[in-house]
Chain A
Amino acid sequence: MKKLFFVLLCGACATACVDNDYDLGKVDTDNIAIGDETSCFEAPLAEISVSMTEINSDNNIRIDEIFNEADIWLPTQLPDQDDNGRFVYVQRLLNDQAYRNDNLLPLLIDEMVTNPDKLDKVADLLQAKYYTSFSELLPGVSQQEFKSAFVTVFSTNETLRELLAAQVRTLANDYLATLDVNMDDLSYAIDRIDLSDDVINMLADNLDPAETPDPKNTLHLAGSIDNRLPVTLQISPSFPPTQVIFTPTTIAANTDANELPETRLQADDLRTIVRGITVNIPLVLEKYYPGKGFGDSLSEEESQVVIHLHLIKRGALKFDL
């Protein structure tokens, strides 16, 4: 009887200690994850280097050539200034006559009166390109004699100076109003991005649907741009065939690490991107900083704009065993 009791006691004890919550036959490995809701992972994706030779107007004029003549027509002391220096609003040059005639060109004429170097540069340009426009104001002056005559008359003859200045204003206005700054879109084809399927799945497998309010698991494309050009740009890269597009973003001149705001990706977007895409980058010139130059020291092939793209994964990385 005692033995039976002992056996029953052991059996009862053993049974009582079974915890069915830990049934090893029901281990669930479907939601294996690295990190948690608060995690944030960033992964490099692409680096796009744009050289001077690739930044052209839609008439195929290189960006530095576009501004060569504009540098002469624009006064050295521009009325607008920011941390980068004195600048002109490129789009207002094209579309705002008052801006040109009232803000800029009077300063040009004043500088021609007070600054012999500026007068000399303008006279060189007129001699080379606009000699015929002054045939009535300076009759009998040959092209070879033009610069000397123009400088002498502009400096000494106040009556004629006004007439010459008016013609200069007209020529400058015409040039600046038609500045060839409608830029060709930059376009690059990426055959594929060498991230393994494992990595892609970890990034893309557990994303919250687009309509989820206050999503925790999201994927974003973000980046930064190094801009060595003396031009402030507005860009909005897109990545066909995906619908992914960055909102138009202003990229400051002569500044590294301009931030590209995050744009959200869905899983299909990422899978498409790594299989191969085209990167289209429309450029709009916003500000031009004369005198900052297009870098004589920089070779034509040297990158003027470098776009760094990376992925940001918020929330855990998903992995199925």
Chain B
Amino acid sequence: MKKIYLLLASLLLTTALAAQNPTAYFMEGSTMRSQFNPAFAPLRGYINIPVLGGMDLSLNGNVALDNFLYPRNGRLVTLLDSSVSSAEALGTLKKNNLLGIDARVNIFGIGKFTKNHKNFWSFDMALRLNEDTNLPLSLFEFLKRGQEGSIANVGVSTESYLEAAFNYSFPLLNDRLYVGIRGKFLAGLARASVHYDQFDVSLQPDRWAVTTRGTMEITADGTSVTPNPETGTFEVNDLNFKPRKPAGYGFAVDLGATYDILPNLQASLAVTDLGFINWSKKGTVAGVSTQQTEFTGVTIPDDGSDPTPDFDLEMLKFNQTESKNLSRMLRASINAGVEYEVWKHRVGIGLLYTARFWEYTTMHNLTGSVNFHPVRWFTLTGSYSFLNNRGSSVGLGLNLCPGWINFFLATDLLVTRHTPQWVPISQSAANVTLGIGIPLGRRSHRIAAYVREGDRK
């Protein structure tokens, strides 16, 4: 039984803070904006400061911290604590409780406008990490009530890869339409998935029985495993890692466009992370865990012919299966936005729809945004996001791009109730986007209101 908790804890622990921050979508000048839509461009060329040049950490899901932790008489306890009633704990959970992470850390980035100040190219290298977890309500019903039943679709999937991308955007239709494309070469670092599609529990007075069926796959260069010679099974602890090179390679594209419907009304649409990584067979360890354990009590007198097995769940022990090459699609996103500018392009009102395709579900996000950019080097953005049709988060964003620095920060953690560790308590999303770069080369002439006579030719 302890193994169930270890599995649950490991699933939750692997979900730490970390997609795309919707507050940053309409933040003009941000060098990271083209990650939402390759047709976007900053207001000036840049070269990023390594690592700090662009960090994007996002946590999204349909549950929040206060679904799992409860203050009780000065203590902070989990929903499994005896002081938390079943009704209270289970009442706030969904049928499928989803937690997803996207993390992006820019390692190197450079971008420039061409001579016409409108065509823009950039090259970026970034470390990407995706993770998503699904914990079905039936799992918590079992843990909280001790209620027998069938639990399915418990799993966690994560992957990490390096991305080297070249982006190019250019105008068409007399500058009303901008089209952008980003080609990405991907080097897979590691991936892992653990999924249980069956976890049946029977707790009858004359028979306790558990039937589980799960699979796991881990891919990383130099991964090997030495199963226990007695049992033939292995656990995660038995895995050895000696990574020296990527464990897979892939390719992806981002496609995007912006279109000025009216002089002050712009629509944008992009599909990002449309691609795959082919993970190598050589660095993959795969296993299957099928457990059928039952306890009906000891039989007396024992005829000695059929020893009773220990009632000990070994659902985290796997029998190794044949590894094979595996192609995995990236977690693609669709971003569709519309922004209307008023007051001589000093205030913009935007609406963004995002769909992100996770392993276990597709997350939908609708964000309303008000964007102040009284001068071209300063943008302040406020946003409100609806996650999966429910109110979720208030975000604030700031972009500063005077002549000597390009700095942007956007988060929805600032005005939400959060823990001393800055984890939102009731909000099911957390986003932090940060970047520092050095302006480089020509300024953008895509926005007429920002064009100055003194701009460098």
B204 contacts A42, CB within 8 Å?
Answer: yes
B301 contacts A33, CB within 8 Å?
Answer: no
Segment from A60-68, A104-112, A117-125, A194-202 that makes contact with B: A194-202
A18-48: which have CB < 8 Å to B?
18-29, 31-36, 39, 41-48
Q: Check A49 for interface membership: any CB of B closer than 8 A.
A: yes
Q: Check A88 for interface membership: any CB of B closer than 8 A.
A: no
Q: Check B85 for interface membership: any CB of A closer than 8 A.
A: yes
Bound form: Cα–Cα A23–B205 in Å:
41
Known: A18-B420, A36-B85. A13 touches B77 (CB 8 A): no
B71 contacts A48, CB within 8 Å?
Answer: no
Bound form: Cα–Cα A14–B9 in Å:
29
Known: A28-B75, A34-B145. A44 touches B207 (CB 8 A): yes
B420 contacts A309, CB within 8 Å?
Answer: no
Q: Check A90 for interface membership: any CB of B closer than 8 A.
A: no
Bound form: Cα–Cα A279–B301 in Å:
11
When C-beta atoms are compared, the residue in chain A nearest to B312 turns out to be A196
Interface membership of chain B positions 71-107, coded 1 if the CB is closer than 8 angstroms to chain A and 0 otherwise: 1000111101111011000000000000000000000
Known: A34-B146, A198-B312. A27 touches B78 (CB 8 A): yes
Contact among B2, B76, B206 for A23, CB-based, below 8 A:
B76
When C-beta atoms are compared, the residue in chain A nearest to B3 turns out to be A198
* Set of chain A residues within 8 Å of B204, measured between Cβ atoms: 42
A selection of 11 A-B contacts at a CB cut-off of 8 Å is: A21-B71, A22-B69, A22-B419, A23-B76, A27-B78, A35-B144, A36-B82, A44-B207, A193-B298, A310-B297, A319-B5
Nearest-Cβ distance from residue B356 to partner chain A, whole angstroms: 26
Q: Check B296 for interface membership: any CB of A closer than 8 A.
A: yes
Known: A17-B418, A319-B2. A310 touches B206 (CB 8 A): yes
Bound form: Cα–Cα A321–B8 in Å:
11
Beyond the given pairs A35-B144, A319-B2, 10 more chain A to chain B contacts, judged by CB atoms under 8 angstroms and listed by A's residue number, are: A10-B396, A23-B419, A28-B76, A32-B5, A34-B145, A42-B204, A46-B300, A194-B310, A202-B1, A319-B5
Bound form: Cα–Cα A206–B419 in Å:
31
Known: A18-B420, A188-B301. A32 touches B80 (CB 8 A): yes
Contact among A14, A33, A35 for B414, CB-based, below 8 A:
A14
B114-164: which have CB < 8 Å to A?
142-146
Bound form: Cα–Cα A308–B204 in Å:
13
B208 contacts A44, CB within 8 Å?
Answer: yes
* Set of chain B residues within 8 Å of A188, measured between Cβ atoms: 300-301
B205 contacts A43, CB within 8 Å?
Answer: yes
Taking Cβ atoms with an 8 Å cutoff, the residues of B that contact A are: 1-2, 5, 9, 65-66, 69, 71, 75-78, 80-83, 85-86, 142-146, 203-208, 295-301, 308-312, 396, 414-421, 423, 425
Known: A44-B207, A190-B298. A23 touches B420 (CB 8 A): yes
Known: A31-B82, A316-B82. A19 touches B419 (CB 8 A): yes
* Set of chain A residues within 8 Å of B299, measured between Cβ atoms: 46-47, 49
When C-beta atoms are compared, the residue in chain A nearest to B68 turns out to be A27
Nearest-Cβ distance from residue B308 to partner chain A, whole angstroms: 5
When C-beta atoms are compared, the residue in chain B nearest to A193 turns out to be B298
When C-beta atoms are compared, the residue in chain A nearest to B6 turns out to be A321
Known: A29-B78, A32-B5. A317 touches B146 (CB 8 A): yes
Bound form: Cα–Cα A290–B142 in Å:
51
Bound form: Cα–Cα A321–B310 in Å:
21
Bound form: Cα–Cα A206–B142 in Å:
19
B5 contacts A195, CB within 8 Å?
Answer: no
Nearest-Cβ distance from residue A308 to partner chain B, whole angstroms: 7
* Set of chain A residues within 8 Å of B420, measured between Cβ atoms: 18, 20, 22-25
A286-318: which have CB < 8 Å to B?
308-310, 316-318
Max chain B C-beta neighbours (<10 A), residue from A22, A196, A206: A22
